[in-house]
Amino acid sequence: MSDLASKYELIVGLEVHIQLATESKLFASDSTAFGKNPNSNVSVITLAHPGTMPKLNRKAIEYAVRMGLACNCEISRYCIFDRKNYFYPDLPKGFQTTQDKTPICIGGNVPVSLKNGNEVDVTLNRIHLEEDAGKSIHDEDSSDSMIDLNRAGVPLVELVTEPCIESSEVAMSFLTEIRKIVRYLEICDGNMEQGSLRCDANISIRKKGDKKLGQKVEVKNMNSIRNVGRAIEYEFNRQIELKENDDSIISETRLFDANTGTTSSMRTKEELNDYRYFPEPDLSPFTVSEEWLKEIQNNMPATPGMKREKFISEFGLSPYDAGVLTDTKMTADYFENVCQKTTHYKQVANWIMGPIKSVINEDDSDEPALPITENQLVELVEAIANGKLSHSLAMKKVFPALVDSEKSIAELLSELDVETVSQDDISDVILKVVNAFPDKVKAYQNGKKNLLGMFMGEVMKQTHGKADPKKTNELLLEALEKKN
């Protein structure tokens, strides 16, 4: 298939639904809390009782504007909501309130980094506000379906890219960046398994050199970023096989099966759906004033991209290190706060990316905590930099004792007896070691320089690992060169 694949181009556009973390729904005061008993977060507005009127959630607009600013979009100043007429068995109104002609955010782009270090821009078409539908639950042991309307009316923004994504890696990197952005902005928890972040992929192929887009297939039901990549790869190969066999690629909606890694047909889309959009008569147009827009801009949290740039320019980190540290808002804030109290930026980064991240990764809870406090990490880094503690003993003894402890580094240095020995004490130990191995000293001086490791080992053994390796190496070389 690899030879055949080289003849074709993959073209993907993504539709990302981002459930906004407001406390109430888009047009009602019902709670948006996840995991409540079915049909408990509902009211007469959610249930579409006659005579009820929607009222727009201002916080949802603010969150949508935040997302648009983070994605370099143009923010619409004048917006209306529309009715999208479509049969939703789990949306009691029988239509969805959304935005058609006046999306809150227009255009935009999101730069994403790839594994090879290259950066590509994913171009956006729009971001618009709309309400979510409820959930239909199909019991395999019954012919009945159950409806849970808790999610109905929860505010969403739908982010629509242009058909500009040319590989599954770019698609996955884009979704990873979007998930980081919404978490940094604190507008969504980004949990794909719970459905607060959902993605549909529009996939087509064309022969290299062709300008016309191929027949589009929409794939749904992907509950992880990895599964989005798997679905794209499967569809790419499936569509190539159809083309090579002179079979037609049907414009349809397909479902992805995570167990088999395959897609299957759900419904055909031979013609565009006629949603019969028209302005929602029960909602007045809303405006985003220059004053309000400026206020939102001024209160915007930093995005992952802004943090990465700051870590590279201000703290001198490599792009790789900056990328790892900004993987979550928690580690980015932690690193930045620690660096306000010490200038050993690279050492701080190494501790967070190494031992601290390992402890976090072993935490199976929904919200893993940092294993040591900011002040403890500052003290640890400073103790090593000042020669009070060797890095090896810090790793082996001090850090494990720090995890989930309130003790200071000074307390642990005394309690564990790991404080680095003085230069005078190191010199005394080196003299003893050199005098104990006169034959080895002579061999070293005659060219067997690899014996230095043996001498280092003896010094470390006699100081119980408490000698500073760098200082010990300097003093040992000096002693070996002088010894006659």
What per-residue confidence (pLDDT) applies to 424? 61
Q: How far apart are CA 35 and CA 21, in angstroms?
A: 14
Last residue of a domain, one of 416, 438, 469: 416
| pLDDT at residue 6 in the model | 86
Q: Strand 82-85 vs strand 95-98: parallel, antiparallel, or unpaired?
A: antiparallel
pLDDT at position 388 is 85
Show the domain range for 474.
423-482
Query: Which range, of 49-63, 77-91, 210-224, 407-421, averages the lowest pLDDT?
Result: 407-421
Q: What is the pLDDT of residues 161-203, one digit of tens each?
A: 999 999 999 999 999 999 999 999 999 999 998 889 999 999 9
* pLDDT given for residue 4 in this prediction: 78
Burial class of residue 440 (count of CB atoms within 10 Å of its CB; 0-12, 13-18, 19+) = middle
Assign 472 a pLDDT band (cuts: 50, 70, 90): confident
Place 137 in a pLDDT band, splitting at 50, 70 and 90: confident
204 with 217: CB under 8 angstroms?
yes
Give yes or no for residue 271 having a pLDDT over 70: no
Residue 11 has pLDDT above 70, yes or no: yes
Whether residue 377 sits in one domain with residue 255: no
Please say if the pLDDT value at position 470 is more than 90: no
Instruction: Tell which wins on pLDDT, 124 or 139.
Output: 124
- Write down the pTM of the prediction: 0.86
Give the model's confidence band at 272: pLDDT under 50 very low, under 70 low, under 90 confident, else very high. Answer: low
Domain-located, residue 37:
yes
Claim to verify: residue 74 and residue 110 sit in the same structural domain: yes
pLDDT (tens digit per residue) in 126-135: 999 999 999 8
410 belongs to a structural domain: yes
In the prediction, which pLDDT does 287 show?
96
With bands split at pLDDT 50, 70 and 90, how would you rate the model's confidence at 144?
Answer: confident
Structural domain includes residue 84: yes
Mean pLDDT confidence for 305-328: 95
Judge whether 349 lies within some domain.
Answer: yes
The residue type at 272: L
What residue has token string 């409540």?
36
Query: Are residue 196 and residue 105 in the same domain, yes or no?
Result: yes
State residue 471's pLDDT score: 73
Read off the tokens for 53.
């009127």
Q: Is the pLDDT of residue 150 over 80?
A: yes
pLDDT by residue (tens digit) across 429-466? 787 888 888 888 788 887 888 888 888 888 778 777 77
In a domain, 121, yes or no: yes
State whether 156 and 126 are in the same domain: yes
- Judge if 411 and 433 occupy the same domain: no
The answer to the question of residue 278 being in a domain is yes
For residue 447, the domain's CATH number is: 1.10.10.410
The Cα–Cα gap between 355 and 361 comes to 10
297 belongs to a structural domain: no
Residues 163 and 212 in one domain: yes
Task: Specify whether 430 is located in the same domain as 379.
Answer: no
Quote the pLDDT of residue 425: 67
**Domain edge (last residue) among 400, 416, 432:** 416
The pLDDT-based confidence of 420 (bands split at 50, 70, 90) is: low
Confidence of residue 109 (pLDDT cuts 50, 70, 90): very high
With beta carbons less than 8 A apart as the criterion, state whether 125 and 72 touch. no
- Is 236 found in the same domain as 148? yes
Radius of gyration of the chain (CA): 30
At 238 the pLDDT is 96
265: amino acid identity, one letter: S
Are both 353 and 396 inside the same structural domain?
yes
pLDDT at position 445 is 82
Q: Is the pLDDT of residue 140 over 70?
A: no
How confident is the model over 34-86, as pLDDT tens digits? 989 999 999 999 999 999 999 999 999 999 999 999 999 999 999 999 999 98
| 338-366: average pLDDT | 93
Mean pLDDT taken over the chain: 91
pLDDT at 1: 53
Please state the separation of Cα 214 from the chain's center in Å. Answer: 31
Q: What are phi and psi of 18, to 5 degrees?
A: -115, 110
- 57 and 12 part of one domain: yes
What mean pLDDT is predicted for residues 84-112? 92
pLDDT at 2 over 70: no
**What total number of domains does the chain contain?**
3
Which of 253, 271, 291 is a domain's end point? Answer: 291
Residue type (1 letter), 119: E
Dist. CA 88–CA 92, nearest whole Å: 8
Task: Give the model's confidence band at 353: pLDDT under 50 very low, under 70 low, under 90 confident, else very high.
Answer: very high
Q: Can you read off the two tokens belonging to residue 418?
A: 């790991």
Is 6 contained in some domain?
yes
Long-range contacts: 246-254, Cβ < 8 Å, 24+? 248/215, 249/204, 249/205, 249/214, 249/215, 249/217, 250/215, 250/217, 251/215, 251/216, 251/217, 252/217, 252/218, 253/217, 253/218, 253/219, 253/220, 254/217, 254/218, 254/219, 254/220
Q: Are residues 332 and 455 in the same domain?
A: no
Return the structure tokens found at 21.
């973390």
Q: Is 142 a residue whose pLDDT tops 90?
A: no
101 and 208 inside one domain: yes
Query: Rounded to whole angstroms, how far apart are CA atoms 458 and 306?
Result: 49
